[in-house]
Amino acid sequence: MAQNENCVIYKDFAHSPSKVEATTRAVHNQYSERKLIACLELHTYSSLNPEFLVQYKNTLDAADVAVVFYSPHAVEIKKLEPISELQIFESFDRDDLIVKTDPADFKKWLFSQDFNNTAILMMSSGNYGGLDFEELKNIL
């Protein structure tokens, strides 16, 4: 999406567990000297299924900072069984996982990060509840 001498931002359609893991590892390997912030939006019917969530175990381990965003409202609209933040934590099996459920809170968190010597990976088939990717590009 964008890059300068201090930061690179990638947007990838990865959302299945195998693709999330492969993409995260690839960006980590390509930018091993940089801090990797990996953001994953759980957006598809399968990724929002509590029984399927366990397949995401360790998929974000290559990231220095791992964030999972999902919308409880999207779960409700799709008439799926509700999922909790605790289920997300347990499924990814990462003690320092950051879970965001509010688009404004996610954006505030993301835009407050130090982008110096950083690679940012945005993985989703959605848009994080309306995140303006042009605005994200412009913060560099």
Q: Taking residues 112-130, what's their average pLDDT?
A: 94
Phi and psi at 116, nearest 5°, equal -70, 130
Q: Residue 92's pLDDT is what?
A: 96
Query: How far is 25 from 52, CA to CA, in rounded Å?
Result: 21
Share of the chain above pLDDT 90, in %: 78
pLDDT category of residue 43 using cuts at 50, 70 and 90? confident
Quick check: 14 and 123 in contact, CB under 8 A? yes
Residues in Cβ contact with 77 at an 8 Å cutoff, skipping those fewer than 6 apart: none
**How far is residue 65's CA from residue 87's CA, in Å, rounded to a whole number?**
19
Q: Whole-structure pTM over 0.85, yes or no?
A: yes
- pLDDT, averaged across the chain: 93
pLDDT reading at 68 higher than 80: yes
Please give the CATH number for the structural domain made up of 2-129.
Answer: 3.90.190.20
DSSP, collapsed to helix, strand or coil, labels residue 71 as: coil
